[in-house]
């Protein structure tokens, strides 16, 4: 049958099926409900800018809680140990707070619909076109990640055919985003956030009980893998060869903690779009702070299951199960890949009812990621490509219609890209390569545009182009000559994940250097045109906070303090 392929590991009980069906019905209902409030472009693309700080904040972190989080990092935790948690803490928290406190006022008061829209105001049409095209390409490729991950879950647990699963998920998301736009996506993302925690939190709780607590879990992992390196976040980063990821602390701090993290959380329109939907400036500043607080807790439901799998997953004969790269597992029915950690753990701990809730939680995460990417693609395509270069004088209703059609077309293209992911070693190898291509150099352009008045239109365009081209060039160099890895990551002991981090760092440096050099030899932008776009030229409006408890900066300080404490605890 087309529906089934391979041997299924378990079967859903009637109550499990009911939970899953009710979830699909609910998200489609939300799409029809939101359709009546998505008649103008402001409503469709920015939810009418009516979201509270809490709704925007939960949607902000939920849009990132797709397969990248649930499947990718659970698999990476199995592969690399607790080092994977860096992508949640140093790789997210400082950047999210920086977005809320420093960058959000500029995005919000400029009333731009997108990050490429800001670049248009700051650097002109050239930078806008380049960033819009590269971002649209990235969102389509990222949406394919979510589709593929959901299909892997359905194939692993239920034996469903991958193609069938991809089309069911894609069709549902396309329907509710096409109907209700960003408002529908945000409402569903908040619902999905609750479902993810309700379903996924069972695995670490039950797993830690089985393992006998954190201390005994660490001891068992050390026995199974023959090393204690898998449970330390910083002590093993003194040399490339002393940790499972093959990375140095400079790559984590500068490549991840600065370039990739700040690039993603402050310039990726997928997440920035959610904050732009806030109903006032204070809510727009608070949303990333609220999101950062929840982000710190996410490793509990993502990283811990990957670590537990190193200790408790067993084969039928009682021996320790060893997972492998996706390209090795494919075609070998007896093997499972790193990316299957979460569904395997779900089967281990969840019975009837709980299994349905757990699967629904995973599906919710994947659909959240798909919706985030496709809604961002629709906005950037409509405003920054179609409206800017193809049809500049259309009516507002025409742009809304184009937004709906581009949602469907974007989803169809995403389906094709889902099959590209099958050729990667793991989901995260694929995702981190995309980030280094598009996000790292974009951050260099945006941060210089906001902080340096002398940055010129030509500097912004050529810097962004040089950074993007150099990143892709370094990737192709390593793909064709594996010895090139030692030069990009600065060590013969470096591994592929280290290459991703250093490639992002080099592309950012190249973008900044080219932007500065070209800006110094070209005509500066008149000061009058920089109002509302650059620090030092723009008066920052008051956000309305009167007491210390209302000030976003106070809560940002609370979050960053907890962040430092957590890193010391797991040092």
Question: Domains plus CATH for the chain?
Answer: 14-569 (1.20.1730.10)
- DSSP-derived 3-state class of residue 241: helix
- Which region among 86-100, 362-376, 506-520 has the lowest average model confidence (pLDDT)? 362-376
DSSP-H helix ranges across 3-65: 14-35, 41-46, 53-62
Residue 541: what are its φ and ψ, rounded to 5°?
A: -70, 155
Cα–Cα distance for residue pair 498/503, rounded to 1 Å: 8
Contact 231, 225 (CB under 8 A): no
Q: Tell me, what's the pLDDT at 2?
A: 41
Per-chain mean pLDDT for the chain: 81
Residue-wise pLDDT tens digits, 430-476? 677 777 788 888 889 989 988 899 999 999 999 999 999 999 999 88
Q: Tell me, what's the pLDDT at 198?
A: 76
Cα–Cα distance for residue pair 362/348, rounded to 1 Å: 15
pLDDT exceeds 60 at position 338: yes
Residue-wise pLDDT tens digits, 113-137? 677 888 888 898 888 888 888 888 8
State which of 7-21, 155-169, 233-247 shows the largest mean pLDDT: 233-247
Burial class (CB in 10 A: 0-12, 13-18, 19+), 170: buried
- Which region among 297-301, 386-390, 502-506, 557-561 has the lowest average model confidence (pLDDT)? 386-390
DSSP-H helix ranges across 47-161: 53-62, 67, 74-80, 93-98, 104-109, 115-123, 125-158
Is residue 415 within a helix (H) or strand (E), and if so which, with residue range? helix 396-418
């Amino acid at each position: 049958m087309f529906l089934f392929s391979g041997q299924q590991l378990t079967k859903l009980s009637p109550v499990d099926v009911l939970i899953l069906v009710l979830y699909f019905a609910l998200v489609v209902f939300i799409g029809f409900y939101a359709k009546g409030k998505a008649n103008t472009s402001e409503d469709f693309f920015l939810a009418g800018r009516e979201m509270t700080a809490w709704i925007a904040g939960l949607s902000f972190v939920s849009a990132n809680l797709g397969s990248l989080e649930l499947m990718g990092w659970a698999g990476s935790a199995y592969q690399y140990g607790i080092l994977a948690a860096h992508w949640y803490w140093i790789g997210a928290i400082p950047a999210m707070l920086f977005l809320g406190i420093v960058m959000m006022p500029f995005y919000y008061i400029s009333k731009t619909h997108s990050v490429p829209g800001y670049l248009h105001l700051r650097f002109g049409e050239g930078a806008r076109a380049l960033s819009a095209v590269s971002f649209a390409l990235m969102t389509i490729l990222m949406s394919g990640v979510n589709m593929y991950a959901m299909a892997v879950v359905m194939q692993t647990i239920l034996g469903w055919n991958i193609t069938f699963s991809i089309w069911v998920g894609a069709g549902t998301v396309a329907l509710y985003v096409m109907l209700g736009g960003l408002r529908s996506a945000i409402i569903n993302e908040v619902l999905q956030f609750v479902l993810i925690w309700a379903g996924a939190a069972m695995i670490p709780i039950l797993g830690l009980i089985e393992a006998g607590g954190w201390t005994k879990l660490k001891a068992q992992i050390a026995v199974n893998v023959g090393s204690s390196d898998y449970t330390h976040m910083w002590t093993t980063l003194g040399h490339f060869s002393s940790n499972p990821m093959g990375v140095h602390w400079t790559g984590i701090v500068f490549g991840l903690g600065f370039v990739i993290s700040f690039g993603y959380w402050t310039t990726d329109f997928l997440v920035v779009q959610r904050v732009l939907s806030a109903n006032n400036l204070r809510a727009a500043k608070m949303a990333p702070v609220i999101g950062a607080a929840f982000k710190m807790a996410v490793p509990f439901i993502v990283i811990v299951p990957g670590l537990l799998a190193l200790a408790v997953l067993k084969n039928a004969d009682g021996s320790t199960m060893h997972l492998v790269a996706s390209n090795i597992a494919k075609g070998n029915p007896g093997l499972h890949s790193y990316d299957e950690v979460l569904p395997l753990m779900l089967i281990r701990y969840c019975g009837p009812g709980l299994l349905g809730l757990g699967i629904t939680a995973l599906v919710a995460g994947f659909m959240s990621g798909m919706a985030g990417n496709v809604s961002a693609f629709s906005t950037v395509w409509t405003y920054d490509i179609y409206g800017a270069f193809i049809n500049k004088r259309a009516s507002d209703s025409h742009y809304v219609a184009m937004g709906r059609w581009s949602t469907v077309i974007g989803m169809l293209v995403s389906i094709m890209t889902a099959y590209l992911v099958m050729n990667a070693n793991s989901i995260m190898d694929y995702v981190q390569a995309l980030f280094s291509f598009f996000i790292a150099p974009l951050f260099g352009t945006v941060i210089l545009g906001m902080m340096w008045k002398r940055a010129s239109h030509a500097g912004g365009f050529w810097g962004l182009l040089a950074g993007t081209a150099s990143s892709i060039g370094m990737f192709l160099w390593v793909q064709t000559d594996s010895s090139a890895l030692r030069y990009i990551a600065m060590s013969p002991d470096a591994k592929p994940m280290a290459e991703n981090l250093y490639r992002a760092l080099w592309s950012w440096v190249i973008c900044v250097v080219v932007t500065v050099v070209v800006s110094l030899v070209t005509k500066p932008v008149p000061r009058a045109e920089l109002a509302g776009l650059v620090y030092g030229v723009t008066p920052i409006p008051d956000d309305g906070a009167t007491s210390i408890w209302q000030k976003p900066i106070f809560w940002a300080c609370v979050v960053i303090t907890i962040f430092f404490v957590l890193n010391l605890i797991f040092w």
